[in-house]
Amino acid sequence: MADNFRITLAQLNPTVGDIAGNAAKARSAWEQGRAAGADLVALPEMFITGYNTQDLVQKPAFHAAAMDAVRQLAADCADGPAMAIGGPWVEDGKLYNAYLILDQGRIVSKVFKHHLPNETVFDEVRLFDAGPLGGPYAVGNTRIGSPICEDGWHEDVAETLAETGAEFLLIPNGSPYFRDKYDVRLNQMVARVVETGLPVIYLNMVGGQDDQVFDGGSFGLNPGGALAFRMPVFDETVAQVDLRRGEQGWTIAPGAVAEQPDAWEQDYRAMVQALRDYMAKTGFSKALLGLSGGVDSALVATIAVDALGAENVRCVMLPSEYTSAASLEDAEAVAKALGVRYDYVPIGQSRAAVTETLAPLFAGRPADITEENIQSRLRGLLLMAISNKFGEMLLTTGNKSEVAVGYATIYGDMNGGYNPIKDLYKTRVFETCRWRNANHRDWMKGPAGEVIRPSVIDKPPSAELREDQKDSDSLPDYPVLDGILEILVDRDGSIADCVAAGFDEADARRVEHLIYISEYKRFQSAPGTRLTNRAFWLDRRYPIVNRWRDRG
């Protein structure tokens, strides 16, 4: 029996629906594996279709095309190493999330996912049939167990594979990022190693898909739980992993251990990668946004430049009579620091025209939030006009605190195709700006150094829709608001939990009310990067009509 086994791990970025493009990526990885003398080239879960496909995978023409592509890959990659690739598979009228082993021109083994996740962003119970608990597959005379993603988080699948002869575990994943996810994965995989006594190779994909971003960070653990290698987070990487057989079985040869960035860097990288891929995969190369002089739009502008390059970002200042001189100066300073195109489009004349048009209808009624929203909607109208005329995607700039309580104008500043900071609370927005000013990485296309000057970060937040307006006029101060939101949204807690944490009950009830009445706005909002496991979209699905309130 062979005492060495080489796996080419392809931590790559597929595109949902681009079956031909994904197959080409797989073929390129296989060619690299063949050149390196690999025994097996491994790709992540559902790689041939991209992931997360949602209901698209149920379309017969779609999954049939994916299956045909896998068969063609088997034929094309006959003369060289085996390939393991994820994709949908139909057998006996049932649709499975499968891991398919290709060798010598044909599909020689199929693994069907047993535990189908049905939480947070996953709906696999309604999409796929559950496969049986099965045994390992053979590549040459080596027997490999491949629990598919969620199956790796359940001891029964790994133990069954170990009991039926698996010599090591290769776990293909489509595991999306949320803050500190690596620690969760590592703990689960250590448990599988301890339970089975087998080495574990955890292979994850990278890249953005709608709100989700897959962060890679593939790794290997030897018996006892020692880390053998770790691949970079977020980067497409093809690496050779060697296993050696000794008296005690297989071990993974020591390899490179990539640095694990802290949560601030990973959040920022996730926002950059998600926007970069969302733009590229939807066919956009240029973006624009309204730059107000505030901290949120400054951060989105910086993310956009780091994702796309300054030459592909347009910032627009749309001042009214309530826009302060300080905001004008701050917005221009951010634009200059980033090196973007900066356009100045006052809304005064447009606002006067709308006011005059509505004057007969509004006669005798005092000015209120209606007039404030007209300003926001005029800005949205003008920004969408620029987007249409120049083919640039409009980015929206509301943070999670504002999205949670509806502190945004629908059809106004909520206009846009994507929102990078949708899952970032306001208090984290401030700190993220400071982090970016102090840090620069090779994957950032923007300039190093201070790009968001301190006056942008430190001034009291304001929508500037009326004289001397401050956000704190309408909302609790952001540290209080975010603390309550973290309990009610992220932890799914109660009013009593908020009070126990030291928050005023009246504030908590007011925030809860705002969360519920703003559901209709979130329903119509742009997608945005998922940074937590309680992001507003697939993680948290509430009815729009909802009269329940926590009376406890």
Binding residues for L-glutamine: 175, 181
Using a 10 angstrom Cβ sphere, with 0-12 exposed, 13-18 middle and 19 or more buried, the burial of residue 34 is: middle
Q: Residues annotated as binding site for ATP?
A: 290-297, 397
Q: Residues annotated as binding site for deamido-NAD(+)?
A: 373, 402, 521
| Catalytic residue (choose from 25, 77, 124, 149) | 149
Residues 6+ apart with CB under 8 A from 24: none
| Catalytic residue (choose from 45, 124, 392, 486) | 45
CA pair distance 523, 200, nearest whole angstrom:
41
**Strand, coil or helix: 254:** coil
149 noted as active-site residue: yes
Phi and psi angles of residue 528, each rounded to the nearest 5 degrees, phi first: -155, 165
Nearest residue to 134 via CA among 96, 106, 107: 96
Q: Which residues pair with 200 in a beta bridge?
A: 169, 221
512 noted as active-site residue: no
**Strand, coil or helix: 315:** strand
Q: Residues annotated as binding site?
A: 175, 181, 290-297, 373, 397, 402, 521
CA pair distance 10, 207, nearest whole angstrom:
13
Nearest residue to 12 via CA among 169, 173, 228: 173
Read out DSSP for 202-218? EEE-EEEETTEEEEB--
Q: Angle at the Cα of 132 (from 126 to 133), degrees rounded to 5? A: 125
The torsion of the CA quartet 331, 337, 343, 346, rounded to 10 degrees, works out to 10
CA pair distance 221, 228, nearest whole angstrom:
5
Read out DSSP for 508-530? HHHHHHHHHHTHHHHHTSPPB--
| Catalytic residue (choose from 25, 77, 113, 286) | 113
Q: Count CB neighbours of 302 within 10 A.
A: 28
CA pair distance 427, 488, nearest whole angstrom:
16
Q: Count CB neighbours of 261 within 10 A.
A: 18
Instruction: Look at the block and give the residue holding tokens 């300080």.
Output: 326
Residues 6+ apart with CB under 8 A from 76: 27
Structure tokens at 100: 């398919």
498 noted as active-site residue: no
CA pair distance 94, 80, nearest whole angstrom:
31
CA pair distance 249, 169, nearest whole angstrom:
13
Where in the sequence numbering do the catalytic residues fall?
45, 113, 149
